[in-house]
Amino acid sequence: MALGFNRTFKLDLSILSTALQAYEAKPGLSDLSLAEAMGVGGEKGTGYSRWLLACGLRASKPRKLTDLGSLLMSEDQHLRDPGTKAVLHYQLASNQYSEVWWSLIDYIAQHREIEARQAVDQLLRAGIGTNNRKHLLTDVRLFFDAYLDSDCFGSLQVIVEVEAGRFIARSPSYLPSLILGYALYARWEAGLQASTIPINNVLTESGQAGKVFFLDRPQLLEKLRELEFRGIVKVSRIADLDNVAYTFDGTALDILRMYYQGRG
């Protein structure tokens, strides 16, 4: 799914919040009606309708907020909380249909760095954007802009520009264990693994929390131990492999709700 249009509308969380509130007030909005409700042009309304979909905040059919979108509306409707930003980073990075985000996060996690000029070539080699290079260029710009903007994902410090056009991966400056727990369970609920998963898979599989957040093994184990203390997972060793068992009697959104309720 391409996010780019004839013009570049970067991921501005304050505008995304306005779009989120418009959908909550009136489910079923068309892109044009959304633009009118937001007070923006039709093309920008379409762009932010796409952003809501890519972030998992609205459904495609029917066009209404998802449960995640509704939770953010009730707990952080302005999308300013650093935990919310970490969730949105995860949502984009684990969404295989947002091809540019999925593929670039995967590449950066493996190589720990990337040059902006490499990104387009890397994506084209993967068969992404070959039918519309203009949209591809726009999407790559959107990707890097989101991590440069301190009001967006820049404050997470997960992808940092160390010199002009060269970026490196870092573990987030802010990643509460409950946000990691949300990501683990959201992936599990998608039906992509059994009741346990090897820790190595959490670190290396595309879309998994350890890889998306660029964690190393000690960092991941520290967060898992905190989640184990809360009864959300259990870390065990089976056949010489460290595994994570999903032991929480609740959902990913329940874990995220625990995060918001525990603030302050």
pLDDT at 264: 43
Give residue 109's domain range.
86-169
Q: Based on the fold, state whether residues 151 and 187 are members of the same structural domain.
A: no
Rounded CA separation 202/205 (Å)? 6
Rounded CA separation 234/152 (Å)? 33
CATH number of the domain enclosing 203: 1.10.10.10
Note whether residue 147 is domain-resident.
Answer: yes
Note whether residue 5 is domain-resident.
Answer: no
Note whether residue 4 is domain-resident.
Answer: no
pLDDT at 6: 45
Distances (CA, A) of 194 to 181, 191, 198, 245: 16, 8, 10, 9
Residue 248, phi then psi, degrees to nearest 5: -80, 130
Q: Based on the fold, state whether residues 110 and 153 are members of the same structural domain.
A: yes
Rounded CA separation 79/73 (Å)? 9
Q: Based on the fold, state whether residues 115 and 136 are members of the same structural domain.
A: yes
Among 169, 203, 231, which residue terminates a domain? 169
Q: What is the pLDDT along the chain (264 residues), one digit of tens a residue?
A: 555 544 557 899 999 999 999 999 999 999 999 999 999 998 889 889 999 999 999 998 888 999 999 999 999 999 999 999 999 999 999 998 888 999 999 999 999 999 998 999 999 998 988 888 888 888 899 999 999 999 999 999 999 999 999 999 999 988 999 999 999 999 999 876 688 999 999 999 999 999 999 999 999 999 999 999 999 999 987 766 789 999 999 999 999 999 999 974
Among 62, 80, 98, which residue terminates a domain? 80
pLDDT at 3: 59
Q: Based on the fold, state whether residues 32 and 53 are members of the same structural domain.
A: yes
Note whether residue 91 is domain-resident.
Answer: yes
Give the number of other Cβ atoms within 10 Å of residue 239's Cβ: 6
Q: Based on the fold, state whether residues 164 and 90 are members of the same structural domain.
A: yes
Note whether residue 241 is domain-resident.
Answer: yes
Handedness of CA 67, 87, 79, 129 (dihedral sign): negative
Contact status, residue 241 vs residue 235, Cβ threshold 8 Å: no
Contact status, residue 11 vs residue 146, Cβ threshold 8 Å: yes
Q: Based on the fold, state whether residues 160 and 90 are members of the same structural domain.
A: yes
Block residue for tokens 């004839």? 6
Note whether residue 206 is domain-resident.
Answer: yes
Among 23, 55, 80, which residue terminates a domain? 80
Q: Based on the fold, state whether residues 96 and 163 are members of the same structural domain.
A: yes
Note whether residue 231 is domain-resident.
Answer: yes
- Is the backbone of residue 251 left (phi > 0), alpha (psi -120 to 50) or beta? beta
Total tally of structural domains belonging to the chain = 3
Note whether residue 6 is domain-resident.
Answer: no
DSSP H helical ranges for the chain:
13-25, 31-38, 42-54, 67-76, 82-93, 99-111, 116-125, 133-148, 177-189, 199-204, 209-212, 217-229, 252-261
pLDDT at 2: 55
Q: Based on the fold, state whether residues 201 and 218 are members of the same structural domain.
A: yes
Contact status, residue 246 vs residue 196, Cβ threshold 8 Å: yes
Q: Based on the fold, state whether residues 130 and 55 are members of the same structural domain.
A: no
Q: Based on the fold, state whether residues 142 and 105 are members of the same structural domain.
A: yes
